[in-house]
Amino acid sequence: MISRIWHGWTSSENADTYEALLGEEIFVGILNREIPGFIDIQLLRRKVENEVEFITIMRFASLDAVIEFAGEDYEASVVPPKARTVLSRFDQRSQHYEIISEKKAK
């Protein structure tokens, strides 16, 4: 299993707008693609000084599924134009990690 991690930052004023855009449009679009091997996506948010940091963590069954989502240059960020208008900066490349162990509470 592969975890794809990406960071983006907004101003405090744009944070709620960006979060809503993700939840109402961008994540829905990803889910509607029905990518074989796409498992789920998480959104993390925290205030850092004068900015708000967002982290997305996507899980995929394989690297092939990541490539289906992002393209051959699978480390490149996938940032829709609407998101770019409210982000102040973002990772140009995503990080990918092989999930080697996972424990769940009972």
What average pLDDT does the chain have? 96
Res 77 pLDDT > 90: yes
Report whether 65 contacts 59 (CB < 8 A).
no
Given pLDDT bands bounded at 50, 70 and 90, which one contains residue 102?
confident
For residue 3, the model assigns a pLDDT of: 98
* Side-chain half-sphere exposure of 103, counting CA atoms within 13 A: 1
What pTM was computed for the model? 0.91
Tell me the chain's radius of gyration from C-alpha atoms. Answer: 14
The structural domains of the chain, with segments of one domain joined by +, span 2-98
The hierarchical CATH code for the domain 2-98 is: 3.30.70.100
Phi, psi of 23, deg, nearest 5: -70, -35
Res 91 pLDDT > 90: yes
For residue 89, the model assigns a pLDDT of: 97
What percent helix, strand, coil does the chain show, rounded to 5?
A: 35, 40, 30
Closest of 25, 56, 24, 58 to residue 39, by C-alpha: 58
